[in-house]
Structure 1
Amino acid sequence: MFKDEDETAQPRTKEIERLEKRLIRLKYLAHKYKRAEIIQNALLELSNIATQVSSLEEFYLGVHQHLKQLISADNFFIATLDVATGGLTVPFFADEKDAHPAQLYPEQSLSTLLQQGLTGYVFKTGKALLCDDTLVDELVAAGQIVNLGSPCHLWLGVPIRHEDMVTGVLVVQTYDTNVHYGDIEVELMTFICHHISGVMERLKHQEQLEQAIQQRTKELSQAYDKLKQEVYERRRAERLQKSLFEIAELANSSADNPDFYAQLHNVIRHLIPANNCYIALLNEEETHLTFPFYVSQLGNGHPGTRPLQDGLTEYVLKHKRPLLLDQNDINALIVSGELYTKAPSLNHTQTMHQWIGIPLFIHDQVRGALTIYSFSMTQNYQIKDLELLTFVSQHIGTAIEKKLSAESLQRSYEELEEKVIARTRALAELNKDLEKEIRQRRNMEAKLVHDAKHDALTGLPNRAMFMERLNQAIKHVRRHSLDQFALLFIDLDRFKQINDTLGHIEGDRFLIETASRLRSCIRSNDTLARLGGDEFVILLDCISSIDDAKDVSERVIQKISQPYRSGTIEFNSGASIGITISGNHRLDTSESMLRNADTAMYQAKANGKGCYVIFDDSSSEQAMQDAAFENDFRLALQAHALQLSYSPIVDLQTQQPYALECRLFWEHPQRGTIQQEQLSVLAEQANLTVELDKYTITALDSTYIELLRCHGDQLDLHLMLSSQHLKHKHVLRSLKNTLKQTRLNLNRLWLFFNEKSLVQETENHINGFALLQKLGVNLGISHYGSGHSSLNSLLFLPIKALKLDTNIAKQLQDEQHIKLISAYQKTASTLDLLIFAGGLTNQEQIQIFSSLGYQFGQGGALTDTFTLLESPQQVCA
């Protein structure tokens, strides 16, 4: 192209620069075209692989080998979607660092793992994803993926599509920071995914046909050389088909056909030489063999029934598979002791050349054997004869099964006919008794149906029946939007106290009487049901407004509040009612309405009991607030945000402190100060009662040194503990260990347990008190007078004090109650027990208790002089 210049000539500077730039561009284009040629050749090779491979595994391996020539693909795997199950699998995986995910996470579902990671993200979005560590961290932070496996430099995943559906993901990744992926790699991977999709679809349709095609191809390739053999096989097949028709005709022949087995033998002879043949069958007990057919060239007599031993027939029955044996095989089995060891007299195989035994399956079990054998060396059986006889034996077994069934059926018919004649007379005589029994059964069925849907105690509909009627009512108001119904959830107040005090029998009578009162408050078309315990529900059908539900609720509260009488004892109860109305929410269900009414009922109990509350969104919001309050309490307990205070117990005569009761309080940021009583309720709801008590002991231990510094060891310390510590051995052991580990003077420590719990768990209290007494602590009963424990129970407990229920101080206006309070003091004095009066709010109460002989008390009236102590410093002050 260019004219050679004289080597000695001086080249022009601009011309040289232009030629150098052109040379650089030509080198770049040459490199680009070279790479394009490599990519084109690799893609052509991949296309050739896609058309040549016979399995996806082979194609994946080829893709991997050729892909490594184009991009860094040493870390490569393919994830596919199982359309039937929706799960993800990894049919091909190659990674230089990580093992297969199934090995890394053996205890987790591989599909779940993949769906949580980058692979699942590509499945969801259906778009190719090229990301580095930064993008991975962003996706993890956004909650889009879970980071799995070792960190990599770059990760590239491309979806595999078929008919606009993502069926897989092709992934390459690199740990080498010198390797970079770009649009060319994405385009290349997309092209490969297209081929993978095509190969997957092609192999899916060809996989089922491949074996048949290969077999047929092999047959066609041999057809020219084996034409005569094919003709023979066709004739043999025709004979086989004819034989199967003949066996089918025999199977449908009459049960009393005397030539059945001989005709079966003729069918077999058309297929295979069978001059020596017999059929053996097991009896029903499977202890003996019978021989319904036997033919032999030796002219031996027909064998009779014999017990199972260790002959060739038993050998077939034992192994349950077809056998072709020659003389050497039989002799080897005899030498090994598997044949004719127990019954050598059965051995007549010395002159046999070959022996075939086929198990017969009758009623899906091996119940017999078909056997043929030869004596001539010129008559040789082959494997194909064994296979043919095995195939025919299935139909023979079916024919014998039908014959035996027909014979059994015929015998059954004959026996049945005889029994029918006999039973006809008996049935005629028993007809009247049968009619009576039918009536009884119908009554019983009706009773069972009634019992299944009604409460056994009150006779009211139970939960199952009520939910059915509630569902019907909801469906009705959905069809008829102008109709309306109300649901009342009723919980009886003080039922547990009544049950524990008067016993379960009186408790049942109380529930029956309550059910009767509730019936009188509703109409005949309304539904009253008992859900269980002391919970009742009422479905008010077809009401005109919410006022109807309010009227019924007021009647119920009025009826339930009337006194109940049990013998000479008169007691009162009450009802808390939650109300919900249909139509407030379009998606109301029976469960949601019952739950809403239940929520409203608990709000009514929180409002003071003996009232009703109509559910609205604020009720639900209140429930959420209560749950949040409970969660705040858990967090406060964990953060040690509860503080300790001390309530003085004062000598009523000297007005001097005798002991300090340790109480907790909590400064809630929104709700203000939460006192011990509410903390105890929260702990019980959150199942943290034991933890709250341990918190109190730990807090007391941490301030004990300051208490000693201020007061010395002169004041006793009172702790109110839950009886949960006494119910389980491991909880009681934990309490003992906690007390042992403190710095407290256990001889000056008093532990009080609630009297109501004592009534319910007397045995646990006796055992628990016996163990706690060994620590040297003083034991007492709190809230005395509220649980109605018997005086006998005090004799069995190693207690030293009683602490009256605070509500007793409110009942001093009643002369009878004053007598009862005096009896408490005399009882304690007689048993050498200290007794503490609580809830003293005025001087009048203090004077009355002093006049009755009470020495110690505590309450608001006694803290006028002694400020409520919230810290050791205040105790010192």
Structure 2
Amino acid sequence: MFREEPTQSKSTLRLHKRISRLKALALKYKRAEITQNALLDISNFAASVTTPQEFYSSLHQSINELIPADNFFIATLNSTNGKIEVPFFLDEKDSHPNDFYPDEDLSDTLYSGLTGYVLKTEQALICNDDTYRELVASKAITLRGSSCHQWIGTPIKNADATIGVLVVQSYSPNIVYTEVEIELMNFISHHIAGVIQRLENQEQLEHAIDTRTKELSIAYNKLKQEVYERRRAERLQKSLFEIADLANANIDSQQFYTEIHRVISHLLPVNNCFISLLDEQKKTLTFPYFVSQFDQPSPKSRTLGDGLTEYILLNHKPRLLNKQDINSLIDSGELYSINPELNDTKEIHQWIAVPLFIHGKVCGALTIYSYSFSQNYQEKDLELLTFVSQHIATAIEKKLSAESLKLSYEQLEDKVNQRTRALEIVNSDLEKEINQRKRIERQLVHDAKHDNLTGLPNRSMFMERLTQAIKHVRRHTLERFAVLFIDMDRFKLLNDTLGHLEGDRFLIETAKRLNLCIRSNDMLARLGGDEFVILLDSISDSQDAEDVAERVLAELSRSYQLVNQQFNSSGSIGIAMSGQSHSDTSESILRDADTAMYQAKSQGKGCYVIFDYAANKQQITDIKLENELKNAIKNKQLQLSYLPIMQLNTSVIVAFEPRLFWHHPTLGKIKQAQINNIAEHCNMVIELDNYLLDFVDSHFSSMQKEYGKQVQLQVSVSSQHLNHKYAVRALKNRLKQCRLDKSKLTVFFDEKAFVQNANNHISAFESLKPLNINLGIEAYGSAHSAISSLTFLPINALKLDSSYCAHLENSQHLKLVKAYFNAAQAMELTVFAVGVNNDMQNQILQQVGFEFGQGMSLGNVVEVTTQADLSLSNNQVCA
């Protein structure tokens, strides 16, 4: 008994397990049957549906029979733009994503959520809250939509490409999806991928067909309109060509307007038409053309009123008016209130008028109208007539211009004939005037290049000829020419004594004589005044020029017969030869001849001098040296030396004579005598003396510190300071401003200048004496002035001329030296010997009685530089 119970329990357990397996298998078969039936349903309605929406709705019903799918949507990828679309959406909580996220792009929204995640991974996904939070935390997805309990998404694949996602979700914990549901969804997704692709392609094809049909319909309508417009444009173009031809046609006005009417009739019905024109004063209206279907008479010309035509002309705009519009204008008083007799519009149905513009102004109007209600004009007719009217206005303008031009030609021809006859008379007078003007012009040209008095070429013409000669000898180096510059002597005396009239006669006679001395190929010209110039062309050498100069001097030396008396004159001639320099110009050659002429005058007049290029070069060098001296004085480049003046028996220094010297950059050291010579030539003697006085005033105090306060200063000053009172005043002021002790200063003036102008010296000495300075005469004995003349001068000292010391061995000279010394002693003047160069001269002078002297044997010259910190140096000596 006990052994049978376990056996029964095991059998029962195996039976229960078998029953469970059979139930699971039965459930599996049941589900397989249901799935198979669902797939058959899907296949059946997939073959019958025509739209994707119908298919998706049936698909949802089939899936809902398999699994809970109340919350269901399908997302597909658009193959054209790659965007995600939601063709079917059903949810118990959320609205369609387009409505749920109105401000976002639907595709971007879905791509960031679970749907996009399935598309990107191409794997089925069953997602609960835990899975959802993990995906959000890893930033694989973004929070989207309402929170749900479970979410299943399976990719829809077609040929290994994911084309969409099937999604079901549950909000209730009672509904739980498992791997079975995912497998079922994958199975369905695989079977519907082709259907979805086919429906999408079909929808795209239908859409493309509809789009193309609409495009073809629009293109057809456009083509019809283009054909109509082209035919209309061809008619319009043909009409415009005809109007242009009419403007140039040789027909009368009536035929012209009739043809215009015919052309317009090709474009629109114009049974009633007229053209109105304004006159030039804009006051009268004429009707050159009028046609009516009822054969009404043409309106007569009239003054402007308030009719319909005037209304168009006044408003400057084309108008299309019907009967009602016209009546409104009449009722408002704009039409026919002043001229009611003009109103003939009672029978008119429509009325079109277009103003005609000529030269930008309204000059008329083109009008058409209809009486029949069956004939209606449109706005396009007004536009067409407005366009054509522009060409009609141009044609009318040309027609009127042609008629006016024809009339003008006729009038012009008459005027031309009259003017031609008048011009024949004027031309005759004008020819005489032109000939007279040419003679005057020739005379003016002659006067511009010739001297009015002598008729000779003037300076301008001579310089042109001289320039040509220079160019010629540069090309032909073996040829030469010469210029003779002639200045008449005593011509000023002639003018002052006999008058300018006789002076003119003298110049005319001189020109005749000079012409006798030259060849035909030479040129004689008058430069002005009594200056004449001769260009000797093609000469052999300077001897040819000298021969001509001698002939000229011989001719000019003959007496002139003026005012019944004879007048003798002569000429000074300067000769300049060509080829002296490669840089010769007309101005330089004439200048050289002028320079040579002044040299001839300085040699006594009545002679000739040939310009010496080397001597002139020396003069240029001298001028350059003078300019350098001016700059040296201006820049304080001259330096100072002191020549000591000593007692002859003791060699004690009693005074110093300051002398300037100049270290020239190329000529070396230039001493005081040469500096004085240069300054005299450039009229800078006074400036040089002022420079010396300023220099000495600044530095003599240093000499006194070295040699004692009793040492004297002897300064040689030019007598040019005494030529006039202003110069004397300037010298006096400069000496007054000197800071040195004036009692120790002796100012010496040259004896020769004193002899030439004793009165000025006496007056100037009297003016300078109150300054408490000592005055003296130097180079005494060189001009041999009378000893008695010294009694008139307030002087204190004499300096004997250096030539006397040089000839002391001559007894006669010695006697003269003694006489000068004794005379000076008698007048209580201190006498200084100059040029004591040896001991013998020193002994002889002491025997005569001289106490003081200066010279080479008595002491060295002390030099002072122009440095700011001047100091004396006995080591700096010069011979």
Is TM-score (shorter-chain normalized) higher than 0.5? no
> What's the TM-score, normalizing by structure 2?
0.34
Higher Cα radius of gyration = 2
